[in-house]
Amino acid sequence: MTYCVGMLLEEGLVMVADSRTNAGVDHISTFAKMSRWEVPGERVLVMMTSGNLAVTQAVVNMVSEGVGAEEETLLTVPGMFAAARLVGRALREVWREDGEAMEAQGADFTAAIILGGQVRGRPLRLFQIYAAGNFIEATADTPYFQIGEAKYGKPILDRGLSATSSLTEGVKLALVSMDSTLRSNISVGLPIDLVVYERDALAITQNRRIEEGDPYFTRISERWSRALRTAFSRLPDPEW
């Protein structure tokens, strides 16, 4: 399983992904689900993927090496809308190539992708791209997307996140959301990849891999557990 969350805030972008892949509980491995394309001063794009790993790895390779006759890549597209369309085209190309054989052999053609970033002179944007290559865009009303095992970590985002949250708040919410997911689904696991991008910086602001025992993540996780228990113990008892 996978859990990734991408946030489009007024201050910039927060992208967080776990890195556990499983094909059954006896076949668990670590694969990065986050890819970055960065030309400092010119563009930053970050993509996170869930679904069939063969499909999503093919897409990552294609948008790096070139899609179609024009051999367009995420490093050559003029803006984020073109970037999302390119990822969509790559998905459909993989589907045309592998889809029939996969279906015949009972493998699901599944893929969900979050793509965020900015090209110089163009706005920062965040998209969620479906397996059919179509996509939607985050707005101030709904400033985040989740893919993979999304439900455990959603309530805290629904309560805490808005487009005006700071990047620091976004990082903390993403880590608490990830922590809730790790606790409830063992097929989502550390390490976690984290990217923070400050709007108009045109260079990645923070790029971290959070491993088992990371002091900050451990502190957040312990403090949050304790705070929840305290908060819970202070809830009023029913009068009945």
159 contacts a copy of itself (rule: CB under 8 A): yes
Cross-strand partners of 51 = 111
Asked if 140 and 124 touch (Cβ cutoff 8 Å), the reply is no
List of E strands, the chain: 3-8, 12-17, 20-22, 28-30, 34-39, 43-51, 111-119, 125-129, 135-137, 144-148, 192-198, 206-210
Among 71-79, 112-120, 129-137, 217-225, the segment contacting a copy of itself (CB under 8 A): 217-225
Q: How far is the CB of 240 from a copy of itself (least distance, A)?
A: 6
Tokens of 238: 């029913």
Q: How far is the CB of 180 from a copy of itself (least distance, A)?
A: 4
190 contacts a copy of itself (rule: CB under 8 A): no
3-state DSSP call for residue 73? coil
Among 180, 193, 202, 204, binds a copy of itself (CB under 8 A): 180
Asked if 177 and 153 touch (Cβ cutoff 8 Å), the reply is yes
Q: How far is the CB of 45 from a copy of itself (least distance, A)?
A: 22
Among 28, 37, 160, 199, binds a copy of itself (CB under 8 A): 160
4 contacts a copy of itself (rule: CB under 8 A): no
237 contacts a copy of itself (rule: CB under 8 A): yes
| 10 class by beta-carbon count within 10 Å (0-12 exposed, 13-18 middle, 19+ buried) | middle
Q: How far is the CB of 66 from a copy of itself (least distance, A)?
A: 35
In the numeric block, the tokens 């093919």 are attached to 58
- Residue 15 or 60 with smaller CB distance to a copy of itself: 15
- Residue 30 or 206 with smaller CB distance to a copy of itself: 206
**Whole-number Cα distances in Å, 20 to 27, 49, 163:** 10, 12, 29
- Interatomic CA distance for residues 189 and 19, integer angstroms: 6
Among 151, 162, 164, 200, binds a copy of itself (CB under 8 A): 151
Q: Which residues bind a copy of itself (CB under 8 A)?
A: 151-156, 158-160, 168, 171-173, 176, 180, 183-184, 206, 208, 216, 219-220, 223-225, 227-232, 234-240
